[in-house]
Amino acid sequence: MKRDSRLSGVLHVLLHMAQKPGPFTSETLAKAMDTNPVVIRRIMAGLRDLGYVRSEKGHGGGWTLACDLSKVTLRDVYIALGSPTLLAMGNRTEAPDCLVEQAVNAVLDQAFHDAEALLLARLGEVTLAMLSDDLRKRLGSRKHQGMSAHHG
Amino acid sequence: MKRDSRLSGVLHVLLHMAQKPGPFTSETLAKAMDTNPVVIRRIMAGLRDLGYVRSEKGHGGGWTLACDLSKVTLRDVYIALGSPTLLAMGNRTEAPDCLVEQAVNAVLDQAFHDAEALLLARLGEVTLAMLSDDLRKRLGSRKHQGMSAHHG
DNA sequence: AATAATGTAACATGTAAAGTTACATGAAAC
DNA sequence: GTTTCATGTAACTTTACATGTTACATTATT
């Protein structure tokens, strides 16, 4: 199944933004992500609504970080995206009349729920600040090679 | 994202089959699942190749269980389906040049991997026999109401 | 006013599961 | 041995959804 990469994408954007003050236009960010400005605006909309970033129109406008990076976890970002489906598998039908289906659903639901809970817990353990620190370390260990964070 | 229900579906089929000797035609099973016979053959193909079920052509043919239900776990069934993608989310790109993307991938991969491992472990804990027992309990507790396992 | 940005709707594309059609193959019944 | 009933499988259609794109309204700066 085709996998949803919005979380990966929006984290990429946020990390880019955390490296320097901004603001960043959707077009700039889109180029760094090799995608379309409208896609950037779409995945950022939820973050804006929750106050994690700010967007301004007109000359000199664009996107700015508006939160304490050490207070926002990847789970928060995931939720800001609208909590998209985590698992690629699901039950054929929910609340079926068929007892066979009920038995199957019961055991699968348990396994699915556990896996989702673990994934959300893991995402909840990592803040944007931690991610940004990790990036800075990666950048640092490449400095002596004269390379930058941006794409070549 | 649209979720893959093949595991749910094939378990439903196997559980139906575990309730009485068979053989069952694809058409019979398809009716119980409210789907198409070809879909049944498709999701059963992997199980047949691994010897969990047998299929016979011609008059009186159809599908038969061919394994010890207490030896086959839901994980085995999942693998028989060809180990389809478990998570609906993934990284934008694998092995990217961009350090930002690498930092994002690193943390997400860890979380994704843990969740997948847990899900597979949970599926590995449940055998088809356990599932069948659970179903029989559900059937038993409805007997006094004069209901059957099949759809109304 | 002109320009540069976001906001958003509408539409196109890509991908994978699910559903369907068609037909070849093989086994049993007659 | 031919008819019937079953699986096996390829090819195509449908559906769902993320992604990509176009178009245009809105708003802020110059």
In this predicted model, what pLDDT tens digit does every residue of B21-53 receive, in sequence order?
879 999 999 999 999 999 999 999 999 999 999
Tell me the chain A residues in contact with residue B1 when contact means C-beta distances shorter than 8 Å: 1-4, 84-85, 88
The identity of residue B80, as a single letter, is A
Q: Select from A15, A32, A104 the Cβ nearest to the Cβ of B11.
A: A104
Local structure of B121: helix, strand or coil: helix
Distance (Å, whole) CA A151 – CA A149 = 7
Position A147 confidence tier, pLDDT thresholds 50, 70, 90:
very low
Distance (Å, whole) CA A55 – CA A63 = 5
> Which residue would you say has higher pLDDT here, B6 or A142?
B6
Tell me the chain A residues in contact with residue B134 when contact means C-beta distances shorter than 8 Å: 103, 106-107
Rounded to whole angstroms, the distance from the CA of residue B28 to the C1' of nucleotide C29 is 21
| pLDDT for A34 beyond 70 | yes
Q: What pLDDT digit, counting tens, does each position of A99-120 carry?
A: 999 999 999 999 999 999 999 9
Q: Do A99 and B2 touch (CB under 8 A)?
A: no
Closest CA of chain B from A131, distance in Å:
7
A85 touches strand D (CB under 7 A): yes
Rounded to whole angstroms, the distance from the CA of residue B48 to the C1' of nucleotide C27 is 18
Q: Which class in CATH covers the domain with range B6-85+127-143?
A: mainly alpha
The predicted model gives A49-62 an average pLDDT of 95
Position A12 confidence tier, pLDDT thresholds 50, 70, 90:
very high
Residues in contact with B58: Cβ distance below 8 Å, sequence separation at least 6, in sequence order: none
Range name among A14-18, A81-85, B148-152 with the lowest pLDDT average:
B148-152
The predicted model gives A5-23 an average pLDDT of 94
Neighbours of B97 (CB within 10 A): 11
pLDDT at residue B97, rounded to an integer: 84
Distance (Å, whole) CA A7 – CA A35 = 15
Tell me the chain A residues in contact with residue B104 when contact means C-beta distances shorter than 8 Å: 8, 11-12, 15, 131
H or E element, residue B63 = strand B62-65
Distance (Å, whole) CA B24 – CA A139 = 61
Closest CA of chain A from B81, distance in Å:
12
pLDDT at residue A1, rounded to an integer: 63
Residues in contact with A69: Cβ distance below 8 Å, sequence separation at least 6, in sequence order: A18, A127, A128, A129, A132
Averaged pLDDT of chain B: 91
pLDDT at residue B129, rounded to an integer: 97
pLDDT at residue A141, rounded to an integer: 74
Q: Which CATH number fits domain A6-143: 3.90.1150.10, 3.40.50.300, 2.40.50.460, 1.10.10.10?
A: 1.10.10.10
The identity of residue B57, as a single letter, is K
What averages of pLDDT result for each successive group of 10 residues across chain B (152 residues)? 91 95 94 95 96 95 96 97 95 87 94 97 97 92 52 34
pLDDT at residue A109, rounded to an integer: 96
- Residue corresponding to tokens 């043919």: B61
pLDDT at residue B146, rounded to an integer: 43
pLDDT at residue B144, rounded to an integer: 53
